[in-house]
Amino acid sequence: MQYMRILCRLLMGTLVFNSLIGCGGSAPFQDPPPAPEPEIKVNFKTADPVRGARLFATSSNAKLLICADCHSDDPILNNFGNIWSGRNAVDLIERAIYANTGGMGYLRNLLTNDDLVDIAAYLGNSPGSLSFDDTNLGAISPEKNITLSSSLKTGVDQINLQTFGPFRLGQTTCGKDIPRFDACKVGLVFAPKAKGDLEGSLIIRHANSPLPIEIKLKAKGI
């Protein structure tokens, strides 16, 4: 008799559970599908090589010479006036200005310390921003590269690389240090998890720059 009671209770429980499923319900306590990952953006002060390029090529005072007047319009390719000494070496740029090297002393009152940090970042990290091809969700874009260069006079030490947003490090030849007058490449890929126009950053930290250097990245997920 006791056995029959237990059996009846088990059968009733099974019928109740099946009725919930059959009526379009789902098993209780089922977790909802995961939400898409939020886009992570840089929220700290950084050096901006794109701004550094503008400062190198233009001046707030039209009567004064600008950096490009003495060092060419393309200091990434041309070492006019030993401009490559300033690659990722803001301290050497400051030293040249305060020593009035080549008549650069007037820049002391024209450019701030942050301006010089951005110019050094521009000279030593190319390109200063990147755009990637449209990429399908779940796929990975072709790799693109940033070239990180050291000064003619000093190396770059304690390099650390970090990505923000839907971008990942690819193949890189950069170690922890770059010798004097040398360069390495940082590979980057776009791996979208959402559709639409997306942004991110490569952050380059090293001992020669008082601020992390931000390379802004853009792409579209489709």
For 80-134, how does the pLDDT look when each residue is reduced to its tens digit (9 = 90+)?
999 999 999 999 999 999 999 999 999 998 999 999 999 999 999 999 999 999 9
* CATH code for residues 125-221: 2.60.40.2310
Spatial distance between the Cα atoms of 206 and 156, rounded to a whole number of angstroms: 7
Count of residues in the chain: 222
pTM: 0.81
**Domain range 51-124, its CATH number among 3.90.700, 1.10.10, 1.10.8, 1.10.760:** 1.10.760
Q: Could you count the other beta carbons within 10 Å of the beta carbon of residue 165?
A: 22
Q: How far is residue 130 CA from its own chain's centroid?
A: 9
Tell me the percentage of the chain whose pLDDT exceeds 90.
73
Spatial distance between the Cα atoms of 197 and 94, rounded to a whole number of angstroms: 39
CB 153 within 8 A of CB 91: no
Ramachandran angles phi, psi of 219, nearest 5°: -170, 175
How high is the pLDDT of residue 42? Answer: 87
Tokens standing for residue 177: 């240090």
Give the domain ranges of the chain.
Answer: 51-124, 125-221
Spatial distance between the Cα atoms of 205 and 38, rounded to a whole number of angstroms: 24
